[in-house]
Amino acid sequence: MLHGEVERDRWLTRDEADRLLLVCPEHLGALVRFALASGCRAREITALEWNRVDLERRTAWLNQTKNGTPRGVPLNHDAVTVLREQVGKHPRFCFTYRGKPIRWELSNSAWQTALEKAEISDFRFHDLRHTWASWHRQAGTSCDELKELGGWKSRSMVDRYAKYATEHLVYDLATVGNRKGLARKLTL
């Protein structure tokens, strides 16, 4: 983090993601779906070339990553589906807009309009990576596995990106008491 930067704890719920995808134009929806399925950064997605994708082996190879370390990205069913939908749109790049590679920032007017329509605030495209990591963590993916999947060099980066939903922290005190044989009514 840069000096003075505040750590963000922003990721989408499944409902928010569904709302966002419903209002995205086709090209932006493909980018969002791929980000949620792969955890890739915006520039990794827009720079992805067909010669670095193997749909049969369900893998993409990123040669230009933020931390400078090339990495393989396993492609789940959703990521493969998105890529198959892009086949034939461009001979070199996987993701395009009107037949041309995407060379602009993904925080443009289409992104902002989609967020407004979906009633989502305080959210950046990069937060889709936080969402992907958080969903993995909430589903039980280990920190070591997530570190490798996301291409992070340290456990602290995983902790910064992957957040648990608060639901796992909420429990019924009466149920806990019953399990311990301390059945008593709790009153507040």
Active site residue 10: no
What's the DSSP call for residue 167? G
| 66, 84, 100, 117: the active-site residue | 66
Q: The CATH number of the domain where 127 resides is what? A: 1.10.443.10
Lookup result for tokens 């719920």: 13
| 52, 126, 160, 163: the active-site residue | 126
Residue 10 has a pLDDT of 84
Average pLDDT over the chain reads 83
Active site residue 41: yes
More reliable by pLDDT, 153 or 179: 153
In tens, the pLDDT along 30-55 reads 999 999 999 999 999 999 999 999 99
Q: How many domains does the chain have?
A: 1
Active site residue 14: no
Answer yes or no: is 178 within a domain: no
Average pLDDT in the 136-163 region?
A: 80
Answer yes or no: is 5 within a domain: no
Answer yes or no: is 143 within a domain: yes
Answer yes or no: is 79 within a domain: yes
DSSP output for 63-76: SS-TTS--EEEE--
Active site residue 129: yes
Answer yes or no: is 39 within a domain: yes
In tens, the pLDDT along 67-102 reads 677 789 999 999 999 999 999 999 999 999 999 999
Answer yes or no: is 164 within a domain: yes
How far apart are alpha carbons 156 and 25 in whole angstroms?
A: 35
Answer yes or no: is 9 within a domain: no
- For residue 45, give its domain range: 14-169
Active site residue 66: yes
Active site residue 179: no
| 11, 111, 135, 161: the active-site residue | 161
Q: What are the structure tokens assigned to 6, written together?
A: 């505040």
| 41, 130, 136, 147: the active-site residue | 41
| 33, 129, 137, 147: the active-site residue | 129
Whether the predicted pLDDT of 186 surpasses 50: no
H/E stretch holding 137 reads helix 127-138
Max CA-CA distance within the chain? 68
Answer yes or no: is 117 within a domain: yes
- b/e per residue 70-86 (b: at least 16 CB within 10 A): ebebebeeebbebbeeb
